[in-house]
């Protein structure tokens, strides 16, 4: 079982 990470876990709002 793998957890799909989200882009927002890495890149922040400008």
Partner 1 sequence: MLELRLVQGSLLKKVLESIKDLVNDANFDFSSSGFSLQSMDSSHVALVALLLKSEGFEHYRCDRNTSMGMNLGNMSKMLKCAGNDDIITIKGDDGSDTVTFMFESPTQDKIADFEMKLMDIDSEHLGIPEAEYHAIVKMPSAEFARICKDLASIGDTVVISVTKEGVKFSTRGDIGTANIVLRQNTTVDKPEDATVIEMNEPVSMTFALRYMNSFTKATPLSNTVTISMSPDLPVVVEYKIAEMGYVRFYLAPKMEE
Q: Which residues here bind partner 1, judged by CB under 8 A?
A: 1-14
CA atoms of 1 and 8, how far apart (whole Å): 21
CB of 8 to partner 1, least distance (A): 6
Dihedrals phi, psi of 2, to nearest 5 degrees? -115, 145
Q: How far is the CB of 2 from partner 1 (least distance, A)?
A: 4
Count of CB atoms situated within 10 Å of the CB of 4: 4
Shortest distance (Å) from residue 9 CB to partner 1: 6
């Amino acid at each position: 079982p793998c957890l799909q990470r989200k882009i927002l876990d890495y890149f922040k709002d400008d």
